[in-house]
Amino acid sequence: MRKLKRRGQKWLGKFLPLFLAAFLVAGLAAVSRLGIFRLKYVNCQLNGLPCPLSLEPFLVNLHGQNLFAVTDSSLKNQLNLLNANFETITINKKLPDTISFFLTGRSPVAFMTKKASDQEAVYLALDNTGVLYSQVTTPDLKLPLILVSAAFPLNLGQSDLSLKLANLIDLLNRYYVNFSEIEYLSPEEVHIKTLPETLAVVDVTGDLPNQITSLQYILASIKIEEDLPLKIDLRFDKPVLTY
């Protein structure tokens, strides 16, 4: 009797978790088919405002689908295919029949284009995370312009080049260095056209925060009656000023 009891306990200990897991899966599958979980309410906001009409077919198509059958990853992939300009996508599901989308759009910090191209100029919007996300023919002139040589490919998405440039722009803004244009010649030589007219040269492979700090200090130390340097080369231990 004791042996049979022990065998029964071992059998239960071994197979009971499997039975419970199978029962749980079957229960969820049955619940997911119930009509009460079919979506009736689909809400969407972009930057706190109603989503654009371009997303209406996607949103309408969700009506009647089961709340448990639509996964967040699948929905986000569909939205990104429809519009690559979303910076964040938050999805909230509320039982039994409501789903809400909260979207934020990307904002450009600069526009990037190729220097001296024979073709019509094309500009790519760069956001603060280093993503090139939108192609335009007329950039916002209030934002800085980034020029790169034809040797550097310009593709939508995030790259080592776009990350470096976004980091550079962030540092310039953080240290209140006014500038209108950046020319990327190589990682070791990047020209920054500061306002009103001084050209700064930095090396993005070096200690970039220290270089931008030095640039801000030099520009802030120049008195009104003094001449501005034509060029400040910050790639050395001691900045080189040219008048």
pTM confidence score? 0.73
> Which parts of the chain have pLDDT scores under 50?
3-5
* Helix, strand, coil share of the chain (percent; to 5): 35, 30, 35
Q: Within 13 A of 10's CA, how many CA atoms are on the CB side? A: 6
Residue type, 219: L
pLDDT digits (tens, 9 = 90+) for 91-106: 999 999 999 999 999 9
pLDDT digits (tens, 9 = 90+) for 160-174: 999 999 999 999 999
Beta bridge partners of 201: 191, 233
> In angstroms, rounded to a whole number, what is the distance separating the alpha carbons of residues 64 and 205?
54
Q: Which domains does the chain show, CATH number per domain?
A: 35-105 (3.10.20.310), 108-242 (3.40.50.11690)
Helical (H) or strand (E) element with 106: none
